[in-house]
Amino acid sequence: MQKIIQISTDKENGLFDITEQIEQLVSESNVKTGIVNVYAQGATAAIMIQENWDESVQNDVVKLLKKLIPSGIWEHDAQDKNGDAHLKAGIVGPSETVPIIENKMGLATWQNIFFCEFDGPRAKRNIVVSIIAG
């Protein structure tokens, strides 16, 4: 099973929790054992599994990446001023794969799946969700 979900983002850099949408698709799939792959379409976005307890970790991720990869100093900025977004997305990576155990994602208590926006805000971002039975 494969579906594309869409979200909009309201920040230039931010983590957006998409766990509920993925959980719904896993439930609908009726796959008892397998994997779910979550893939961000776009060269300036990524997918990350991170703590969900509060926003502090997500805010810290954004702060860290801004510190490590500042904007406005990259060769690609001459084209469209988003060189940092490409580098952040490349470091974090475009996808995550989670095991499906008894028709539920095998995430730990404090783990959620986040779409990472590095070039927002955007009215539409596509996320490909592929569910494979094992």
Would 34 be classed as within a structural domain?
A: yes
Would 15 be classed as within a structural domain?
A: yes
Number of structural domains (the chain) is: 1
pLDDT of 121: 98
pTM of the model as a whole: 0.96
Nearest-CA neighbor of 97 among 10, 27, 39, 26?
39
Average pLDDT value for residue range 101-112:
97
pLDDT of 53: 92
Would 115 be classed as within a structural domain?
A: yes
How far apart, in Å, are the Cα atoms of 131 and each of 32, 88, 127? Answer: 11, 26, 13
CATH number at residue 25: 2.60.120.460
- Neighbouring residues of 92: CB distance < 8 A, sequence distance ≥ 6: 46, 47, 48, 65, 116
Tell the residue number behind the tokens 């969700």, with chain if given: 129
Average pLDDT value for residue range 82-100:
98
Full domain range(s) for residue 34: 2-70+83-133
The answer to whether 58 and 49 have CB atoms below 8 angstroms apart is no
Average pLDDT value for residue range 93-117:
98
Would 76 be classed as within a structural domain?
A: no
Q: What is the pLDDT of residues 42-88, one digit of tens each?
A: 999 999 999 999 999 999 999 999 999 999 999 999 999 999 999 99
Q: What is the pLDDT of residues 5-30, one digit of tens each?
A: 999 999 999 999 999 999 999 999 99
Would 77 be classed as within a structural domain?
A: no
